[in-house]
């Protein structure tokens, strides 16, 4: 190879690596969504959701180009009690059989002071799409010494109202405002593409699902609907 062509060949080799570094796949094992919600003013009930899949476009040198899309498994909810988990999956709340996935996609990303930023995006949940901003912090960008993979770690918070997504039953028993805490690990993956995860993935799988129809009386003014109060 000519010495004159060597710098060009090296450039062509490096450019794909640089472009690939902006594409990331969310690690479902090390990515969790924790939520808290009021329990009759006694305390905050805590729970977890797992993601189904997620993709991130992120260049630490230019946060404005970042893009995120993630599918959350609504049936993955963990509350520490099987009966209560089934209640939340039912028609009274998430209706997970009809709406198995929630979908979040970013519309823009703003960098704030230091390693902090804000994602402005939309959440599709329970068949409803509403704006949702997520405040986040970049914790670390580096090589994982165990997996030997380039990894980006983030912590984030957000707040939503379940009634905005059509889940307005027994508000006197289970609070309306939901606080979210997200811990995210993303692994570099050149094939990860946020545009490939479309909101259509969160549409109803069975519009006639019997799970979406009440099988017990509607809640009365005291919030009694046949569910066990906790």
pLDDT digits (tens, 9 = 90+) for 89-145: 999 999 999 999 999 999 999 999 999 999 999 999 999 999 999 999 999 999 999
Contact (CB, 8 A) for 137 and 157: no
Tell me how many domains the chain contains: 1
Assigned domain for 10 exists:
no
Assigned domain for 228 exists:
no
Assigned domain for 118 exists:
yes
Assigned domain for 3 exists:
no
Assigned domain for 166 exists:
yes
Q: What are 146-199's pLDDT values in tens digits? A: 989 999 999 999 999 999 999 999 998 999 999 999 999 999 999 999 999 866
Q: What are 38-72's pLDDT values in tens digits? A: 999 999 999 999 999 999 999 999 999 999 999 99
b/e map 123-157, b = 16+ CB within 10 Å: bbbbeeeeebebebebeebeeeeeeeebbbbbebe
Cα–Cα dist 230/228, whole Å: 6
Assigned domain for 218 exists:
no
Share of the chain above pLDDT 70, in %: 77
Domain that holds residue 177: 23-212
Assigned domain for 199 exists:
yes
Assigned domain for 13 exists:
no
Residue among 10, 28, 30, 18 nearest 144 (CA):
30
Which residue's entry shows tokens 């960098």?
Answer: 111
CATH number for position 67: 2.40.128.110
């Amino acid at each position: 190879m000519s010495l004159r062509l060597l710098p060009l060949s090296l450039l062509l080799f490096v450019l794909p690596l640089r472009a690939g570094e902006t594409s990331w796949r969310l690690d479902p094992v090390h990515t969790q969504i924790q939520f808290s919600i009021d329990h009759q003013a006694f305390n905050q009930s805590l729970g977890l959701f797992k993601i189904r899949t997620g993709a991130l476009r992120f260049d630490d040198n230019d946060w404005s180009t970042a893009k995120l899309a993630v599918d959350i498994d609504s049936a993955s909810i963990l509350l520490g009690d099987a009966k209560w988990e089934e209640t939340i999956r039912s028609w009274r709340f998430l209706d997970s059989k009809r709406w198995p996935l929630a979908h979040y996609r970013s519309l823009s990303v703003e960098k704030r002071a230091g390693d902090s930023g804000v994602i402005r995006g939309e959440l599709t949940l329970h068949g409803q799409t509403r704006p949702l901003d997520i405040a986040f912090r970049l914790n670390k960008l580096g090589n994982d010494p165990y997996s030997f993979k380039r990894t980006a770690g983030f912590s984030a918070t957000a707040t939503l109202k379940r009634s905005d997504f059509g889940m307005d039953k027994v508000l006197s028993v289970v609070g309306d405002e939901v606080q979210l805490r997200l811990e995210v690990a993303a692994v570099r993956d050149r094939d990860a593409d946020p545009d490939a995860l479309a909101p259509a993935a969160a549409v109803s799988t069975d519009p006639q699902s019997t799970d979406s129809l009440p099988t017990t009386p509607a809640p009365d003014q005291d919030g009694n609907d046949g569910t066990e109060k906790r």
